Amino acid sequence: MFKNKKVLVTGGAGFVGANLVQRLLKEGVSVRATLHRKDAVIKDKRVEYIRCDLQNTDDARRVCQGMDYVFLCAANTSGAAVIEKTPLVHLTPNLVMNALMLEAAYAAGVQKVLFISSNTVYPLTDYPVKEEDACYDFYEKYFIVGWMKRFSEIVCEMYATKIKKPMATIVVRPGNIYGPLDDFDWETSHVLPALIRKVVERMDPIPVWGDGMDIKDFIYIDDFIDALLLAMEKIQGFDVVNVAGGKPYVLRDLLNIIIAADGYKNPRIAYDSSKPTMIPKRLIDGAKAREILGFSPKTPIEEGLRRTIAWYRRSLQRKAA
């Protein structure tokens, strides 16, 4: 589907955006990607990088001109600590950026837009959530983020179903994505890269926020990119789809896998329930992705963690050199 097409990836220096750019290049796709504060991660002359601020109307219009497909990967994101201290930090920047990008894509005649949403749009449940379970009763600590993502989803639906000349839009709700090129910064990283860094740096004891009993769904980045390309290819009009690993994992178990994979012998682990944690249990149903996309994740969690640890160690060696 990408033959002779021009594809825009916003957030080209981010975790998902950089991995997507890398995959599209392998597919021979003509890629344009946006940069904001960070420099390009995938340095390739075939990529047209544009440094811009997507909260600016003119910049949003400029990057969409001449594009056939748009992947909205840019987002103002952070880890639990930032959300706990400054809960409004992600509200206005993301709402403005998402609305302006959809407006600009529509004005530029883009054929199809894919928006990466979040599983925070679901309530707290003991069962795997399906796409129709999205609600307005969000987990309290994610109330603001959940509303921001949910409203952005509704704006996507407006462009695809509520106007005379619609633009196809796709909403993808991911599990917790991990893998190479992830963010390992202490202030902004999510749980798995934070744990990997603590193990690789041989912290003793290893500090863990919460009691380590949180249950989450994780999906390896390569599998997630597979699903994004399938969704862009196969979904027409408007639809929402979960893209997740489909298996629940207790954080304590994942920490033990990381410790074993990196050869850290008999570390002490210090759980700290006073530190901020987020959704204690999130199970995600991936049946719709299997049905309409033919997608199932391929990478076992043990293999994905080994690859991520190896990549992080290589990145440390490159910085040291």
- The dihedral through the CA atoms of 115, 278, 87, 137 has a sign that is positive
Round to whole Å and give the CA distance between 40 and 10. Answer: 12
CB 155 within 8 A of CB 102: yes
DSSP-derived 3-state class of residue 96: helix
pLDDT at 181: 97
Q: What is the pLDDT of residues 251-276, one digit of tens each?
A: 999 999 999 999 999 999 999 988 76
pLDDT at 86: 73
pLDDT at 122: 96
Query: How many CB atoms lie under 10 A from the CB of residue 276?
Result: 14
Q: DSSP secondary structure string, 171-233? A: EEEE-EEESTT----TTT--HHHHHHHHHHTT-SSEEEEB-S--EEEEEEHHHHHHHHHHHHH
H runs (alpha helix) in the chain? 15-26, 57-64, 80-85, 91-107, 143-161, 191-200, 221-234, 251-261, 287-293, 301-320
pLDDT at 188: 83
- List the end-to-end C-alpha distance of the chain, in Å, as a whole number: 41
Select from 96, 81, 94 the least CA-distant residue to 210.
Answer: 81
What are the structural domains of the chain?
6-178+217-247+280-300 (3.40.50.720)
Round to whole Å and give the CA distance between 273 and 296. Answer: 35
Round to whole Å and give the CA distance between 141 and 139. Answer: 6
DSSP-derived 3-state class of residue 79: coil
Q: Please state, in angstroms and as integers, the Cα–Cα distance from residue 259 to each residue in 193, 199, 200, 306, following that order.
A: 13, 6, 9, 10
Per-residue model confidence as pLDDT tens for the chain (321 residues): 888 899 999 999 999 999 999 999 999 999 999 999 999 999 999 999 999 999 999 999 999 999 999 999 999 876 666 666 777 878 999 999 999 999 999 999 999 999 999 999 999 999 999 999 998 888 888 889 999 999 999 999 999 999 999 999 999 999 999 999 999 998 888 899 999 999 999 999 999 988 999 999 999 999 999 999 999 999 999 999 999 999 999 999 999 999 999 999 999 999 998 876 778 899 999 999 999 999 999 999 999 999 999 999 999 998 887
pLDDT at 158: 98
Diameter of the chain by CA atoms?
A: 64
Q: What is the pLDDT of residues 100-140, one digit of tens each?
A: 999 999 999 999 999 999 999 999 999 999 999 998 888 88
